[in-house]
Chains A and B, each alone.
Chain A
């Protein structure tokens, strides 16, 4: 049997992943719901004073988005591992990076992207000025793919372990620090009325690094977890 072309593999994998997520809407809705709930805890815990909320809003929205992505990643490979699809993927006569990348893209399209789309609304609820809401959305848009890719490395390494959830957090959260710093920093810079182009470019650079090298690391992590 000759190996299919990479384009075919890419299209088929992407269609499979999107269909799988699409057919279990809970996977799309729950991270969003989590995001909204966590953000709405902040006014209750701190105080509803608009001036204070606007000050903590960039950090609050970003921490909530980061946790939502991380928690959604815990099950990223688990179902495939339980059904055996993961072993097939790793033994298939194609470079495993391609289906893995398709999986990451599908995951981001149906979790990271919705988070970015809803982020301005939450920012508005936390009394952020309307003028910075677009910066907030762009920063989440640029940051969440990195969170998905980096978190997927942790998810790949912990896929077969019982206490995956908390271990995943311990592994992945320190790796999320740069995205958090620059992501929330961009919004704060916009709040101060300073130009944000440079910081958005840094977020983009981190994204480029994560997208180019990340899928290889994720595929390697899956191989290691499979006992290779």
Chain B
């Protein structure tokens, strides 16, 4: 097991192998993710039963929850990639870090937007400084900060390592932010806002949610691999295999 992981780590650490991996995986990853997303969304938005208290408005959960969880997982993945990039100086971790940011930022924005739209009919307000909303807003700021730092530094390796350090610090920060705003919120507003818990959701509503979640996560993964592939080609443009590829040969 450990040996397999180690070999996999070293193989994916090679840009050329990584490129081949992307070429092999992407042709089915994109359609599968889109198909799952379509099934989950249609099932959830059209066929899932109406919620007793919230009526049809709850259906935005099928976009909101996958987007929120994707944004959070993406940031944690950036932290892990950042740690790997800093400690082992693995080039592909730098590439992944850069590739993870844009889609994650979009998901955080989608999460905030759908949350606002959901909040209006159920809580009577588009925005409230609720713990979860505030954490997601800070998460969006952190994503934007990392992208801004990467844009500001010209040298790609230096930009990636700077972003890696910021991502690691940011992950520690996200945890503290979460507890701090929870404390802030519970002190002042009490639990006026309740989000449907995982266990308290009926199976007829849960399955479409899980499917659209899987679909969106896989779409995120596909987007990351596409961005990473482009970045690899750009970084390795002077190497032999990229030159052969450009002339129409095998990678």
- Measuring CB to CB, which residues of chain A are less than 8 angstroms from any residue of chain B? 150, 153-154, 157-158, 161, 163, 167, 170-171, 173-175, 177-178, 181-182, 185, 189, 206, 209, 217, 220-221, 224-225, 227
Contacts and interface: CB of A to CB of B under 8 A. Distances in A.
A220 B165 contact: yes
A178 B152 contact: no
Contacts of A209: 172
Interface in B119-171: 138, 141-142, 144-145, 148-149, 152-153, 155, 158, 161-162, 165-166, 168-170
B84 interface: no
A163 B151 CA distance: 11
A224 B155 CA distance: 11
B1 interface: no
State the majority secondary structure of interface residues on A.
Answer: helix
Given A157-B149, A178-B177, A217-B165, A185 B158 contact: no
Nearest to B141: A174
Contacts of A174: 138, 141-142, 145, 170, 173
A185 B182 CA distance: 12
Residue picked from A153, A158, A171, A225, most chain B C-beta under 10 Å: A171
Nearest to B142: A174
A182 B153 contact: no
A177 B165 contact: no
Contacts of B181: 177, 181
A163 B144 CA distance: 16
A156 to B, nearest CB: 9
Contacts of A163: 152
A153 B180 contact: no
B183 A181 contact: yes
10 contacts: A167-B149, A167-B152, A170-B148, A171-B148, A173-B141, A174-B170, A177-B138, A181-B184, A220-B86, A227-B158
Nearest to B161: A224
Contacts of B165: 153, 157, 217, 220-221, 224
Contact of B148 (A167, A185, A220): A167
